[in-house]
Every structure is written in C-alpha cells, then in structure tokens.
Structure 1
Amino acid sequence: MAKKKQDTVFDPISLTCGHIYCYMCACSAASVNVVDGLKTADPSEKCPLCREVCVYKGSVHLDELSILLKRSCREYWEERRKTDRAGRLQQAKEYWDHRCRSFTGI
C-alpha cells in the first residue's frame, strides 16, 4: 500500500474489520492483482490498520459512498478516476502478459 496520505477514498471498499480503503490500495495491501481481486487474497493477509487476518474475502464495495463522493468532489474524483484507470490497465497488461508467457512457455 502506498505510504502517501490520501484524504478521500476512491472506489471505496469496507473490509470485514470495518476499515475502509480504496479498492486498489486494498488489493496492494492484500498482495493481489486487481484482475484477480480481493476474493483471492490469502486468509493470512492482514488489515494494514488493525492487523486482523482474513478481512479481504468478505469485503464489500461501498457503492452509495462512492456516488456521494463523486457528487461532492467532482474535480478530485475525475482526476483519481483517470489515475486509477491507468493503474488498473497497467496491472491488467502485466497480468495478461505474464499469463501469455506462461501459456506459451516463453
């Protein structure tokens, strides 16, 4: 998970311990790719704040909070949407490049 401070979450999810993170930050903390998603996180992975284990598989997207933040922070939201999309595309490209190399034996 990135160490820089963010005041507003983007694409918020709630872990089963109740802590809220950006989806990409949670994937990073759980050591999973966004393509695979949080449901594939190892049960031993811990919440970065409370250190509780097995908090990723039962996580939920906070769609209503996401809509509220989008309406309240339009400029911030648009900028984060662009950077988040670029990050997701990069991870997807790396994921499929790796899969293709594994499949072809390269």
Structure 2
Amino acid sequence: MDRTAELRRLATDLREHDAVEDAWLAKSFTDRLLVVDLRTGSVPAEIRERLEEHDCYGANDVYETGEADASFAGSVGDETRHQFVDVQTRGDHQSYVVE
C-alpha cells in the first residue's frame, strides 16, 4: 500500500474516535505531518499508540523543541491541535520557494 494512502486511511479512522474533531495530512518543508484536532486537551493513549504503530510521533519530540507535550501545536477554538511527524518518510519531501 502507498504510504500516503495508508496515512489518509489512518486519519479517516481517527476521525471516528470520540475525542477527535478532525484529522488530516499536511506537509512541512521536508516532512509529512498527520494533524489531529481533539475535543480533549491531551491525546488519549489509544490514539497515540495507533499513531506510533504507523511511525507517526509527536512533532515537538521529533524536532526536539523542548516543549513538555510531545505533539501539542496550539488551540483552535475549543479544540487542541496536535501534530505528528511521519518518521518513515522524514526528510523525503521538498518544498520550493519561488522568488
């Protein structure tokens, strides 16, 4: 199975969890991210385990930001946003700046 399709399927499955408001794939400059908006403040253990089974880890940990929460990226309305890096393809993506 294609990695993008696998992660899209994971995002779709995560949306079925009661704690999840939304989940989708995004891209940073060089990495693929799985973004999860939660109705609760912290990531439930079963969601974190599911993400780790697919080699997706909290962006704060992967990028060694020093943040206490491994994945917290901010609040969006009443939800909290969490970002997870696809470490299987980390660094494989390229972004270009057009001048």
Scaled by the length of structure 2, what TM-score is found? Answer: 0.31
**Rg (Cα) greater in structure:** 1
More strand by share: 2
Relative contact order (alpha carbons < 8 A, sep ≥ 6): 1 or 2 greater?
A: 2
More helix by share: 1
